Amino acid sequence: MRQDLLGLYGYAAEEIEEILSLSAWMKDRLRRGEKRFSELRDRSVVILFYENSTRTRTSFEFAAKYLGARVVNISVASSSVQKGETLVDTGKTLDAMRTDAIVMRHPMSGAPKLLADTVCAHVVNAGDGMNEHPTQALLDMLTMKERFGTIKGLRVAILGDILHSRVAKSNLFGLTAMGAEVRMFAPRTLVPAGIEQMGAKLCASREEAVEGADVVMGLRIQLERQHAGNFPSLGEYARFYGVNEEVLRGAKPNAAVLHPGPVNRGVELTSGVIDSDQSRIEEQVLSGVAVRMAVLSLICKEEV
Amino acid sequence: MILKHGNVVTEEGVRSLDLRIEEGKIAEIAPQIEGEGLDLTGLTVFPGLIDMHVHLREPGFERKEDMTSGCRAAVKGGFTQICCMPNTDPVVDNKVVVTYLKTRAKETGLCKVHPIGAITKGQRGEELAAIGAMKAAGAVAISEDGTSVPSAKIMAQAMQYAADFGLKCLCHCEDKALVDGGVVHEGYYSTLTGLKGSMRAAEDIMIAREICLAESLNLPVHICHVSTYSGVQLIREAKARGVQVTAETCPHYFTLTDEAIRDFDTDSKVNPPLREEKDRVAVIEGLRDGTLDCIVTDHAPHHEDEKRVEYALAAFGISGLETSFALSYTMLAKEGPLSLSELAALMSANPASILSLQGGRIVRGAPADLTIADLNAEWTIDPGQFVSKGKNTPFKGRKVFGKIKFTIVDGEIKYREGGEAEK
């Protein structure tokens, strides 16, 4: 495992495999009700969030606590990023307190890189701007691997706000490294430039994207994108771009439905899709804790 | 003073000539002049370089740069004349600030400094600044650099009013609504980094607007720091149909592409942004075929605190005075496509002609503004060696050719490599 986990761009299959196999082991233990691990005993972990989040923060906090770490939560309002202490100074302060790992979420792309360049502590990116959200992609891949036994050769359809999605990008980098095929579909206003050069197949319709897919992943559509002129209304989005039961029928019969949450029911996915037998959305949650345990223990390992 | 055995760059080519300087002027040019002199064997003598787009930051932002540090950087970079942009605090929108800058430049006594006035009061885009009074105090052009004048109507009136005083508008071209907070070029690397991109059209639309205004009014206009292939083409087509448009670009646009942003190096953050290879190539072609008239630095020094932050929060700009000549020579003339005479035109004669400044040519009777370089000297760009307060350069660690040995202004050596500036 590298010194920091900033993103999955440039990761080789073996590196991802290393994390996923420990994650599977952790998840197995968790399923059996185990919550006392010792991998991070006497370690201090700071969870530093510059953006609101409930599930990712809770997931990381449980992961660190289950591993036996001492955990401190710091919330900084996004609005104070420009006014308050600089990230570099915050990092130096946390370092001086002998922090072993910093889990950071930040609204600006590249912020974890800046922090990692500044501190001795290990940095885990919990989502930065429109850049990456590596543990989300890892938990998605863990969920896929459990469902299908392998990731190689899977056809994964990702639908939704690709432009602003760090989840889509981390999945694209991770999945292509693992040998999966990634198909994407979104309104043209929400497709980032050059995404095909990164290995995605951009589809002309949701039907084409979903056709024969093993995994159908919806991405959250935020109301603020409507106000920014990316589409006329959530209703129109759902009608022309959302995944409903009929669209899902184009995928393989045993296809898994994933979503990073929280879901807007009836927008990117209909309730029928979310609550179907094919949905693995709840499964993703436990995968998340397991993956974060694996990442934190691997990253802090070598100095033991 | 006699300068002996230098390879002198003239419009006709490079020739080994001696130059005699008297009372700040070039008094004689001949293959051989008798008498003691400065031996320039192996060195190349350019007409004094002129940079018509510099941010000196004084008054108001002396933490980034001031008149003294900026002029020291200029002469170290081979510049004998520079024009400073008005986005200071207070804005250069009246004769008092112009006079202040002229006074400070005189006190500093290194290179010639020509203030550029704002187009509108406070650069707010509403009412015209005191253009006539600024010209009378010594301003050589007007510009809203850093932004475009939002209203085409105000811009048209500025062009007309400035023309009465023989001043040109230097136009920073950026459609703010389309940029929409973008900090890099929109393309593969903006997606890869997740940094918000801005498309070429955001620059091109404003280039087109200024060309349309100049064409409608039959008046001249100058386009600042062109970075897009499509912008180059707009200017080429306008020139072909007789529009009085001139344009500049910067070394970073013909040297780098947006690949430089991939590791979030905030020194690569500049406005307009670094673009793609096809843009870089088109900018070089524009310089070669005369579409782009001159090379400027857009020298934009910043304090380290303004760059050691998240990319989105970092200040735009590159500290360019001390690297411009070497980058231009290395990229454009060392192995072509330009001759040394063409390079000298882009960095001296053309900016002089656009702004009606004295200088730009090595001819008898002209001011003895000369830049003397060792073109064979290879060196590594190290911002730690900059005399500018701004150490912000994406060229750190880059190897270049062409080292400034002497910068002579009105016959006085103002910079000598490895030595103190002489009086």
Q: Which CATH code is given to the segment(s) A134-282?
A: 3.40.50.1370
- Average pLDDT of the segment spanning A84-92: 92
**pLDDT tier for residue B421 given thresholds of 50, 70 and 90:** very low
How confident is the model at residue A224, as a pLDDT? 85
- Chain B residues contacting A via beta carbons under 8 Å: 186-197, 263-264, 305, 308-313
Q: Which of B187, B188, B194 sits opposite A109 (nearest CB)?
A: B194
- Please give the pLDDT value at position A83: 74
pLDDT at B223: 98
**Residues B360-370, mean pLDDT to the nearest whole number:** 97
pTM confidence score: 0.95
User: Which residues on B lie below 8 Å from A169 (Cβ)?
Assistant: 191, 194
**Residue A304's pLDDT band (boundaries 50, 70, 90)?**
very low
The pLDDT mean for chain A works out to 95
Indicate which of B196, B310, B311 best probes the interface with A, i.e. most A CBs within 10 Å of its own CB. B310
Q: Is the pLDDT of residue A79 over 90?
A: no
pLDDT of residue B249: 98
| Active-site residue set of B | 298
Nearest CA of chain A to the CA of B261: how many Å? 10
Q: Which of B186, B187, B195 has the CB atom closest to A109's CB atom?
A: B195
**pLDDT-based confidence at A302, cuts 50/70/90?**
low
Residue A303, pLDDT score: 55
What CATH number belongs to B48-360?
3.20.20.140
Mean pLDDT, residues B203-210 taken together: 98
Q: Chain B within 8 Å of A167 (Cβ-Cβ)? A: no
CATH level 2 (architecture), domain A13-132+285-303: 3-Layer(aba) Sandwich (3.40)
Which DSSP string do the residues of chain A spell out, in sequence order? --S-B--STT--HHHHHHHHHHHHHHHHHHHTT-----TTTT-EEEEEESS--SHHHHHHHHHHHHTT-EEEEEE--GGGTTTSS-HHHHHHHHHHTT-SEEEEEESSTTHHHHHHHH-SSEEEEEEETTTB-HHHHHHHHHHHHHHHS--TT-EEEEES--TT-HHHHHHHHHHHHTT-EEEEE--GGG--TTTGGGTPEEPSSHHHHHTT-SEEEE-PPPHHHHHTTSSS-HHHHHHHH-B-HHHHTTS-TTPEEE--S---BTTTB-HHHHTSTTB-HHHHHHHHHHHHHHHHHHHTTTT-
Answer yes or no: is pLDDT of A140 > 60: yes
Q: What is the pLDDT of residues A250-277, one digit of tens each?
A: 999 999 999 998 999 999 999 999 999 9
Distance from CA of A260 to the nearest CA of B (A): 18
Q: At B336, is the pLDDT very low, low, confident or very high (cuts 50, 70, 90)? A: confident
At B112-171, the pLDDT tens digits run: 999 999 999 999 999 999 999 999 999 999 999 999 999 999 999 999 999 999 999 999
pLDDT, tens digit, 9 for 90 and up, residues B296-316: 999 999 999 999 999 999 999
Contacts of A96 (CB under 8 A, 6+ apart): none
Q: Please say if the pLDDT value at position A160 is more than 80.
A: yes
Higher-confidence position of B421 and B83: B83
- pLDDT of A222: 83
C-beta atoms of B190 and A192 within 8 A: yes
Q: What is the pLDDT of residues B18-40, one digit of tens each?
A: 999 999 999 999 999 999 999 99
Residues of chain A with CATH 3.40.50.1370: 13-132+285-303, 134-282
Q: What mean pLDDT, rounded, does chain B reach?
A: 97
Chain B: nearest CA to A111, how far in angstroms?
5
User: Complex ipTM, two decimals?
Assistant: 0.94
Using a pLDDT cut of 70, give the percent of chain B over it.
99
* CB proximity under 8 Å: A 91-110 to B: 106, 108-110
Mean pLDDT of A165-178: 98
- Average pLDDT score over residue span A127-153: 98
Please say if the pLDDT value at position B420 is more than 70. Answer: no
- A193 and B197 within 8 Å at the Cβ level: the answer is yes
